Structure 1
Amino acid sequence: MAVRIGRPALPGPTEIATTASAGPRSPVTVSFLGVSTVLFDDGESAILTDGFFSRPSLPKTLALPLRSDMQRIDAALRRAGITTLDAVLCAHSHYDHALDSAAVALRTGAVLVGGSSTGFIGRGSDLPDDRIVVVENGGTTAHGNFAVTFVESVHSYPDRAHGTIDRPLTQPARVHEYRCGEAWSMQVEHVPSGRTALVHSSAGFRSGMLDGRHADVVYLSIGQLGRRPRAFVEQYWQETVVAVGARRVVLTHWDNFFRSLDEPLQALAYAFDDMSASIDVLDACARRDGIALELPILWRRSDPWADRGRV
């Protein structure tokens, strides 16, 4: 089979809506910061998923041990307006989620929250034990004005660093040492307003895992989804978006994470994924079900709960 060269173009505003900016009265805002890093902030409390900002190049990722790039981390925190965080929530322990999680927690005074593998990443850093929270399936943690419930899911296929981290992981470390561990779907509630969101950071699922749960909005990973059969993509939509009764979906984990956030975002190359193929199927599902489908704008503080008219 011939290898497809290049990468898909990002869809334009006539093809897919983009997230609108939050208004001055929005009780909580959400910012997309690349891959599946998402900031929830109400001006009093703030939580961040993953916190992956180093984004080493592909040659560096493949050839060298990796360590967090503090210059890039600090620049991203400044650009996002982050000074303190209540929690860094790690979706799983692959490097494109967890490489910088402990460093970001250290920089912002946050606790690091995730599975046991994420806990060992925290222990391999300078993060104190009392700022590492290891969760179990169905467990809920409270962070300021936010409550987060962790539901165990499945990583997208293929999982190139399968398995668990079973001892403290110190940097520098090779990419394959960042083993997946548990993969979480995170149900976020902003308690004062009652607004809910699901951050689903890897394109896999366990059938029925979200039954009985609700989220107004889903931040849905599409990483590697473009290589899956249409039937799988449709079932993925059903088991995540439809299962929680969401009315809006914001797509994540589509950008080329071998490229610095200083540069414009672009889709992953066809060698890794086909963003256009996955969006085609998801758009059809969204239109059928009357659900808004959106592409986030990097750094923008949005209000995904705001009523913007008919889908």
Structure 2
Amino acid sequence: MIKDLLSGLTSVDPTDYRHLYDTSTEDGVVPGGGVHVTFLGVSTLLLADDENTIMTDGFFSRPGLLRARFGRLTTNRARVAGALARIGLTDLDALFVAHSHVDHALDAAEVAGRTGASLHGSTSTRRIAEAQNFDPTRFRPIETGQPVQVGRFTVTAIPAQHSPGDLAPGHIEHPVSSSPRLTDLKTGDCYSFHVAHPDGALLIHASANFLPGVLTPFPVDTVYLGIGALGHQTEEFRDAYWREVVEATGARRVVPIHWDNFTRALTRPVRTLPRRFDDFETSVRHLERRCAETGVLLVLPQVWQRTNPFA
């Protein structure tokens, strides 16, 4: 029993998959000053061109496993400040939150507050921001299907569904504590984000699930594909997920996200989620097979690395 428990807490070193790393840029320099994307763990992504910057989620606190599961949660301002300093981010135009769980929404108000960004999210995300005294005039309720223009970026939120096994389903219906528990931060509305730019189009799909047919009207070059808990689903589910997200959008490049252990600080080496919560190897084998069959490029992102999403 103890052996099984310890085995379930082991994880994968992503450097074992270095053959999937992005080699399109050197030293984080994107040729021609075009769009670049920086993976910052879970589904936190920084997108920028030479004029504007936008971000999804903005989660950097990454509390330890025991605290995340059983304790009260607050933004770790030192970790947020350290992460923003490392990527040199002082000004952000807009921050979009995929849903209201701890690993997406806990730090959003802090990041938006520090950088001057407008904060875009659901009613549940707004309640979290209110508990952190975020300026309500800078909150923007998301309306699915309605494009939001940020410079040359056009961001459209699309209805999505959380991955199977949601630990905190539902909506935050009442004011939330400034130090909530994990289950207080309920999912709320769940979104994918279609981002169009003159350089190309991409989809940020944070949760490993799908709503049939929803993504077909949104063609893209690249999908940032959430794979958290995908390895614990059936092969039939994984095949359907591929069809409804990758094939439906016509993407020719797939970048897995939401696979890292978000209870480890980003100052430590990145590891996958423990095997008790996910099976990273199975997910990657599936993606490698489907990409080989269809000629789609599979790229595993490295934290902090600036890359060209349309290379």
TM above 0.5, yes or no, is yes
Report the aligned-residue RMSD.
Answer: 1.6
Q: Which residue of 2 aligns with 1:156?
A: 163
1:215 is the counterpart of 2:217:
no
Deviations 1:85-135 (A, max 9, x none): 111110000001100001100000001101221122222222222211111
1:10 is the counterpart of 2:14:
yes
The 1:19/1:87 distance shift into structure 2, 3 A limit, reads farther
Q: Distance in 2 between matches of 1:63 and 1:78?
A: 30
Alignment coverage as a number of residue pairs: 304
CA contact (8 A) 1:66 1:173 kept: yes
CA contact (8 A) 1:234 1:282 kept: no
Alignment of 1:22-101 (within 5 A): 22-101=29-108
1:255 is the counterpart of 2:242:
no
CA contact (8 A) 1:53 1:73 kept: yes
TM-score by length of 1: 0.93
Shift of residue 19 of structure 1?
A: 5.4
Q: Distance in 1 between matches of 2:126 and 2:263?
A: 25
Deviations 1:58-104 (A, max 9, x none): 01112321100000000000111211111111000000110000110
Alignment of 1:209-288 (within 5 A): 209-288=214-293
Q: Which residue of 1 aligns with 2:185?
A: 178
Shift of residue 194 of structure 1?
A: 4.1
Q: Distance in 2 between matches of 1:110 and 1:15?
A: 36
CA contact (8 A) 1:122 1:168 kept: no
Shift of residue 11 of structure 1?
A: 5.6
CA contact (8 A) 1:216 1:305 kept: yes
2:172 partner amino acid: I
Q: Distance in 1 between matches of 2:24 and 2:130?
A: 39
Q: Which residue of 1 aligns with 2:24?
A: 20
Shift of residue 143 of structure 1?
A: 2.0
Structure number having the greater helix percentage: 2
CA contact (8 A) 1:19 1:295 kept: no
Q: Distance in 2 between matches of 1:11 and 1:151?
A: 33
Q: Distance in 2 between matches of 1:277 and 1:65?
A: 33
Q: Distance in 2 between matches of 1:215 and 1:12?
A: 29
Q: Distance in 2 between matches of 1:303 and 1:10?
A: 20
Shift of residue 189 of structure 1?
A: 1.4
1:18 partner amino acid: D
The 1:9/1:194 distance shift into structure 2, 3 A limit, reads closer
Q: Distance in 1 between matches of 2:17 and 2:263?
A: 25
Q: Distance in 2 between matches of 1:91 and 1:175?
A: 17
The 1:300/1:15 distance shift into structure 2, 3 A limit, reads closer
Q: Which residue of 2 aligns with 1:114?
A: 121
1:70 partner amino acid: R
1:134 partner amino acid: P
Equivalent position SS for 1:117: helix
Q: Distance in 2 between matches of 1:272 and 1:40?
A: 29
TM-score by length of 2: 0.93
Q: Distance in 1 between matches of 2:44 and 2:62?
A: 12
Q: Percent identity, aligned pairs only?
A: 40
